[in-house]
Structure 1
Amino acid sequence: MTKRGVLLGWGGLVVLLGVGVGVWWGWFRAPYALADSPRVDVTVRAAKSEYPDVRVTAEDVDTLVRVYVQRLKAGDVEGLMELAGPAYDGTRGAAYEQVREFGEGARGPVEVTVLEGDVDYFNPVRLTYDRTGQEQELLLVKDDGYWWVGLGEGDPAAGM
């Protein structure tokens, strides 16, 4: 094999790997992730149910609710807005309210209970903030394979 053939072969392999990484980055990587700080103490569990879907949903939403609590703790309004479902408006005001009302509670242990949902793409969760004794119920909305927070005003079924 000539030197040119080897270079073309390796160049093609590099391009193919680059395309593969790009596809993974765009399609398979979650659009949100935990930051390195602040650290949060969150326990996510499924409510007692006769339906196994509740346990599966608890596993699916684990990262989202941890990110939600982390953004609350940091007072990160912009970060909370990024977690809002695609069909929601008024997320800035709602995010400010969430930080104001639950930010202090997010500084301590938080227990998240995934409740039974009526349909596969809507699921309520209950957050219990041990530090303040507050409870919060959130609606999680699944759109394009990812779970989002029903934050602000909107029709959660609009994107379905």
Structure 2
Amino acid sequence: MKKPVISLVSGLLVVGIIAAVCWNRVREPYALADAPTVDVTVRAETSRYPDVQETADDVDTLVRVYVQRLKDGDAKGIAELAGPAYQQPGPTAAKYVRVYGQAAGGPVDVTVREGVVSYFNSVSVAYSKTGQRQELLLVKDDGHWWIGLGDGDPAAGM
């Protein structure tokens, strides 16, 4: 009678571990917070290729989180959005907060450009409040999009 119970418990444990691993691989390692609110529009550059729109959909959360952390003055949070192949993202993140933090308080338009390869994409960020523009490199690694911040080789993780 004990063997079926042990087998059931073992089976449930294995299923639980597999579910946890799958959940961690699927969910994004960053999330939009409830505050501060941001006004961000993410759109694909006009292109004849449908993957540009798909990429815009994929990076939507990342760029919203980026703008939200800019507006909040959260350089440490921005550094956490750096691609895994990048080292020392803190100084670049702090610079972005200084230069674009106030601008993130107004409407922000993000245009996702047509990428040459599927794991690199540049985006243009336009801050309506100040008229500033920023170019960011987005890097896809391990199924998630990151921002190229600091020193590193974005192709190192590929």
TM-score (norm 2): 0.90
Partner AA of 1:79 in structure 2: G
Correspondence for 2:78: 80
- Deviates most, 22-31 or 108-117: 22-31
Which SS does the other structure have where 2:82 is aligned?
coil
Q: 1:6 to 1:40 in 2, by over 3 A?
A: farther
- Match for residue 113 of structure 1 among 111, 114, 130: 111
Q: CA RMSD in A?
A: 1.9
Percent identity between the two aligned chains: 59
Count of residues in correspondence between the two structures: 158
- Match for residue 102 of structure 1 among 96, 100, 103: 100
Correspondence for 2:143: 145
Which SS does the other structure have where 1:69 is aligned?
helix
Question: How far, CA to CA, are the matches of 1:112 and 1:19 in structure 2?
Answer: 38
User: Which aligned segments of 4 or more residues in structure 1 are displaced greater than 6 angstroms?
Assistant: 4-10
Deviation at 1:13, TM superposition (A): 7.5
Q: 1:90 to 1:9 in 2, by over 3 A?
A: closer
Deviations 1:3-59 (A, max 9, x none): x89977985686466335412332111111111111111000001111111111101
- Match for residue 154 of structure 1 among 146, 152, 155: 152
Question: How far, CA to CA, are the matches of 1:36 and 1:111 in structure 2?
Answer: 20
Question: How far, CA to CA, are the matches of 1:37 and 1:20 in structure 2?
Answer: 33
Deviations 1:66-105 (A, max 9, x none): 1110111111111111100111122110000000000011
Partner AA of 2:45 in structure 1: A
Correspondence for 2:69: 71
Which SS does the other structure have where 2:71 is aligned?
helix
Residue ranges of structure 2 left out of the alignment (5+ in a row):
none
Query: Superposed, which structure 2 residues align to 1:1-150 within 5 Å?
Result: 15=13, 18-150=16-148
Residue ranges of structure 1 left out of the alignment (5+ in a row):
none
TM-score (norm 1): 0.89
